Structure 1
């Protein structure tokens, strides 16, 4: 079979689980798979940032702002390899790459969240959606087989990737769509957690709309 990322031919190691079709073969060759670095070790318990502090300085700052987001859980470290893969996935429209994340995304999510939550993907603006042809946050959420609520609409059309770190702390601008979130446990889903401004802003709106508990789940923590 061909590796989804490098396109080299490779032969997956066979096992009884594969033979009995209980588990699918990896879509990535071992060389590409080894370059995805799962977040392990000492991390901030609030945002998954690699840190020797239980709560990092950024999260202490968010606490002072009275954030309502309880926790962010991320899957991968943002190394040079992940930067290139995300660039292909997000900006070059290679939707098929979502399958490279499936196993790790589901495993990490199930380790931290129960099945009674509702997923709220961070939306794209209409112009950005037309440009990319899919919403990467919605694609990640689709791996989890849980109900999605499209409760947010984006009204800021500027790319986060073009902003400085200071500018990103301002956050994106959203409005509510009117979808019911009252009394629900919500997990906001996005591709990348950098400063946290995006998910914290979204959490505030959802809390004001009556959500009971709000968390976020992101593919990568930079």
Structure 2
């Protein structure tokens, strides 16, 4: 007996040889909630992984590539879900109301998409979760980016090497798109890092957070920097 982690409705599943041997990756969601979640599929932006009508670069990535200091600092971002109204509600419950167990909804999707796009990385790659300020960490009780990274590989995580300037604490979600794109880099490292890095974050919106982190890691010596986000 199981219940949907989102709406709490009872999930009644007919047991067959097929789903016994190959369990449904969304077995902790009811059918109605599964229908509302939109995975990124088909043609995507070659750089950020945003779903598009045709292959190529989206307008955001074209803008980033024309900024000299950010050109080629990020190899690519890949994401799992589109940010629709239903996903916005789930993320709010998970991220701001402390329902940590909702990570179980995302787990099979995260593993599948990460393996699809990053299985060929060298074995010494490291994952760098985007850090929170102490104030944000206290408010949320956990770092959502680190929670995502732990699903992929706990041994590859370096959770504290990327630092956030405590004087630059304004939430990106409160800024306009223009203000986000023009914001100063809040990240720094106290040491070098000569390894391929995968930045992990929950949401890729304008790309500002990811590009600031990628630039910081490249300057610290990372030969290749990628990113993986739950949502684009």
Tell me, yes or no, whether TM beats 0.5. yes
Shift in CA distance, 18/62, structure 1 to aligned 2, threshold 3 Å: same
Shift in CA distance, 15/168, structure 1 to aligned 2, threshold 3 Å: farther
Q: Distance in 2 between matches of 1:87 and 1:177?
A: 33
Q: Distance in 2 between matches of 1:24 and 1:76?
A: 15
How many pairs were matched up?
A: 219
Shift in CA distance, 177/127, structure 1 to aligned 2, threshold 3 Å: farther
Preserved contact between residue 49 and residue 78 of structure 2 (Cα < 8 Å): yes
1:121, distance to aligned residue in structure 2 (A): 0.4
For the pair 1:139 / 2:147, whether they are aligned, the reply is yes
Alignment equivalent of 2:176, drawn from 164, 172, 178: 164
Q: Which residue does the alignment assign to 1:36?
A: 37
Q: Which residue does the alignment assign to 1:201?
A: 212
Q: Distance in 1 between matches of 2:162 and 2:39?
A: 29
Q: Structure 2, unaligned stretches of length 5 or more?
A: none
Q: Which residue does the alignment assign to 1:79?
A: 84
Alignment of 1:4-15 (within 5 A): 4-15=5-16
Q: Quick check: 148-157 or 125-134, which moved more?
A: 148-157
Shift in CA distance, 12/213, structure 1 to aligned 2, threshold 3 Å: same
1:139, distance to aligned residue in structure 2 (A): 0.7
Shift in CA distance, 25/197, structure 1 to aligned 2, threshold 3 Å: closer
Preserved contact between residue 18 and residue 25 of structure 1 (Cα < 8 Å): no
For the pair 1:154 / 2:164, whether they are aligned, the reply is yes
Alignment equivalent of 1:107, drawn from 105, 112, 116: 112
Q: Distance in 2 between matches of 1:137 and 1:38?
A: 19
Please give the TM-score of this superposition, normalised by the length of structure 1: 0.91
Preserved contact between residue 133 and residue 169 of structure 2 (Cα < 8 Å): yes
Over residues 25-47 of structure 1, what are the superposed CA-to-partner deviations in whole Å (9 max), with x where a residue is unaligned?
71111211221101112221101
Shift in CA distance, 80/113, structure 1 to aligned 2, threshold 3 Å: same
Q: Distance in 1 between matches of 2:16 and 2:201?
A: 34
Over residues 141-162 of structure 1, what are the superposed CA-to-partner deviations in whole Å (9 max), with x where a residue is unaligned?
1111251013211222111111
Preserved contact between residue 3 and residue 11 of structure 2 (Cα < 8 Å): yes
Please give the TM-score of this superposition, normalised by the length of structure 2: 0.87
Q: Secondary structure at the match of 1:188?
A: strand
Q: Distance in 1 between matches of 2:102 and 2:157?
A: 21
For the pair 1:186 / 2:197, whether they are aligned, the reply is yes
Shift in CA distance, 22/28, structure 1 to aligned 2, threshold 3 Å: closer
